[in-house]
Chain A
Amino acid sequence: MELVEAIILAVLAASTPLLIAATGELVTERSGVLNLGVEGMMIVGAACGFAGAWLTGSIFIGALFGIVAGTLMSLVFALMALGLAVNQVATGLALTILGVGLSGLIGAGFVGERITPALHLDIPGLTNIPLVGRVFFGEDAFVYFSLALVIGVWWFLYRTRSGLILRACGDNHVSAHALGYPVLRIRTLAVMFGGACAGLAGAYLPLAYTPFFIPGMTAGRGWIALALVVFSSWRPGRLVVGAYLFGAVTILQLHAQGWGVGIPSQLMSALPYLATVIVLVLLSRARTGGSTAPAALGTVFVPDR
């Protein structure tokens, strides 16, 4: 019983950064921009987030540092890919390389330092309910925030006019421009939102997951977040399922090793990616028409004036 609870808690903790980063990237991609630099924005967010928390002693300010750092990184991407209409794939990959280097530089002085990790919710009576108490009422603020974020993004995309305009830019930027919508401005905002989320997701790691910073601590989570967006077929609801599934696979892999299951850990680590490929195949087989991906995803747009 306790083991089950422990596993669920671990899965939630492992899934949260994936969910936050993927939600941001989902919004970016829905506007038609493919930013492959999630890993780079996350790792810079992690370094800056830890630095902020260590300097001020406040987890909240640390998180803000992470958000700002991620946003600044995404602005570099926006300048290149939107402002100068450079190839988005190349720019995104370069952003990741830049981020890994930059985070090493920023975080160099903080390696080996410790902070007090983010507090967990504690409601007497509720949190003590066996099995479910800690799962539902004993998490840190990031977990609750991530769920609120997904719901908020869903509501924004499907229930607001601004969300409709954002989806329209992702479907056909030429039409959106012809109707008078500022495609590049909308996309820049979407990229910035994606950067903010990636930065926060990165900051979650040293602020709540492990209370210290080590270089390269995102360990490929940015790439998994990218895969998740495809896995979810660009829908926020499926993103939650996918994030927890991927998080579960990560944790199970650790336990499987502990239990001495004879499956190579590398194969287990590859599972999220395999799952993404399988989902893509299934989606394209089941599709009756229309496109699941935003039709303008990754294409360069230069308005004629």
Chain B
Amino acid sequence: MQAHQRMLDSTTNGLHSGESPLLRTIGLTKRYGDFLANDAIDIDIWPTEIHALLGENGAGKSTLVKAIYGLIQPSAGQICWQGQPIVLSGPSEARSRGIGMVFQHFSLFDNLTVAENVALGLDGKESFKDMSARLEQVSKTYGLSLDPKREVWQLSVGERQRIEIVRALMQDPQFLILDEPTAVLTPQEADQLFVVLERLKAEGRAILYISHKLEEVKRLCDTATILRGGKKVETCNPRLETAASLARMMVGGEIKEVKAAAGRQTTVPRLVVNDLSLAPGEAHGVRLEHISFELKGGEILGIAGVAGNGQDELFAALSGERLSKDPGTIVIEGLAAGHLSITQRRKLGAAFVPEERLGHGTAPRMKLSENALLTGHAASGMVHHGFIDTAATLKTVDRATETFDVRKAKRDPEAASLSGGNLQKFIVGREILRNPAVLVVSQPTWGVDAGAAAVIRQALLDLATAGAAVLVTSQDLDELAEIADRIAVMFHGHLSAPLATSEATREKLGLLMGGSTLEPKEAAHAVGA
């Protein structure tokens, strides 16, 4: 009711046509040194609208919403709220004007309770008791159930997002920004979120929805604004576009299609995991429970699942970052390897690409050649009698650069100076050039632009065609559908029986990702077996 009243006020205050957008940016520009993160962006957001903001990584989406939310000050340009030009001193002013935001990387406090987290997002004008009561009421109204007394670290990713949304809704915002809200959700959880968003729209609020997922945008959004390289490319109605045409606008050209070679042969088992169980290594970790699978040469096995269900722990166990007590639980190239170190596993022909590019995959402040040495020292002839063969390390860099189109400013820059996509191409390239028998790769295209992602996926397919066994962990179901032969799902440290990709529908995977079991015949060893 209150929201409606304010909306009416804003329309009567309208400047020209008797109606003005709820929020308008005029020539909004943000400059970081020489780099233009946002270049004169105009965007109009109307009430009762779900407005998509599309673009590749680095297109300037996050910068734009940060400016609208008052987190950063624009270098030039104007933000108008209900027809009036405003300068936001900070997020609390944005909130008090009726702008709410749900962050991509949750701005939550792990060791505080749900209620305390919500209180921190409000202005503190009501007592903690009143706030808790209102929290219960809002979460009930929108069907977002939450236990206010639990600490955040105990909650699932979906529940954490609910806290963020409830926190934003408690300020009764007229305009809500959501930054990639479904990136971490199962398909079913995403559907529940869409119901909430539709309801918010029906209440007369406006929503700015940032996403990579084009099908989702076509389904949910009324308008879409596309950014590329910090500039606005187009504002359109996504329902009248195809996913391919939206992707073209985002990338600014066609994306190369990934093609699997016909008639790939599977050979001998190269990576076998037998009943692997492992206690978590850190406080918030997941326990691996009786994981078993067999991966043959020439085959790609995909592991799907919501982040934080044991994928990191499985990667650590496979790579040798954590050892298992029973050597036979992990067999690489026919040899029991559960007790072997990372280097020894590499010598057996295994290669590993972790999820985190900087700090795990590479040492950020070291040169690419030095980073090549870090994984290649054991089995790639880069070290002779304890001395580094600098020429050989540089040659690896050159080969990776050439083969995988790594774009960089000089021949051998620091790892941290590369963009995410180029660094990922280098890391994957570095491992593939070692001709591994087994490649374990985690989130190969996370945060990578579409062009680089296509190169990386193609490289994985080619490696399998050449006879290697490839294990890919990814949260991107489309990616797995594109390259994997079979897909298994991780949930709470359990791994489901793999499904052939042709049978692995989104519904089936979604059920497994949410912890349900399929029909007993389809998944004999699945969750809770």
A residues near B (Cβ < 8 Å) are 161, 164-165, 167-168, 171-172, 174-176, 178-181, 287, 289-291, 294-295, 304-305
Contact = CB atoms under 8 A, between A and B. Distances in A.
B293 interface: no
Given A161-B119, A168-B120, A178-B91, A305 B72 contact: yes
B112 interface: yes
6 contacts: A164-B112, A168-B120, A171-B110, A178-B103, A180-B90, A181-B120
Contacts of B109: 167-168, 171-172, 175-176
Most-contacted residue by chain A among B70, B73, B110, B121 (CB, 10 A): B110
Nearest to A175: B107
A297 to B, nearest CB: 11
Interface residues of B, number: 28
A167 B119 CA distance: 13
B111 A291 contact: yes
A165 B92 CA distance: 14
B494 to A, nearest CB: 19
Contact of A289 (B91, B124, B284): B284
Contacts of A171: 109-112
A297 B90 CA distance: 25
Nearest to A162: B124
B72 A290 contact: no
B73 A305 contact: yes
A161 B95 CA distance: 18
B92 A180 contact: yes
B283 A287 contact: yes
B112 A289 contact: no
A305 B153 CA distance: 29
Given A171-B111, A291-B111, A164 B72 contact: no
The 6 lowest CB-CB distance pairs between A and B, nearest first, are A180-B91, A175-B107, A178-B107, A171-B109, A180-B92, A180-B90
Contacts of B119: 161, 164
B70 A290 contact: no
A165 B124 CA distance: 11
A291 B70 contact: no
A171 B108 CA distance: 9
A290 B124 contact: no
Contact of B71 (A167, A172, A175, A178): A178
Given A161-B119, A305-B72, A168 B112 contact: yes
A46 to B, nearest CB: 35
Contact of B120 (A164, A287, A291): A164
Contact of B107 (A174, A287, A289): A174
Contacts of B95: 180
B16 to A, nearest CB: 33
Contacts of B116: 164, 168
Contacts of A172: 107-110
A291 B91 contact: no
B400 to A, nearest CB: 31
B112 to A, nearest CB: 6
B120 A289 contact: no
Nearest to B119: A164
A237 to B, nearest CB: 17
Contacts of B92: 180
B159 to A, nearest CB: 15
A29 to B, nearest CB: 13
A165 B353 CA distance: 39
Nearest to A305: B72
Contacts of B284: 289
A174 B121 CA distance: 14
B154 interface: yes
B492 to A, nearest CB: 15
A304 B37 CA distance: 14
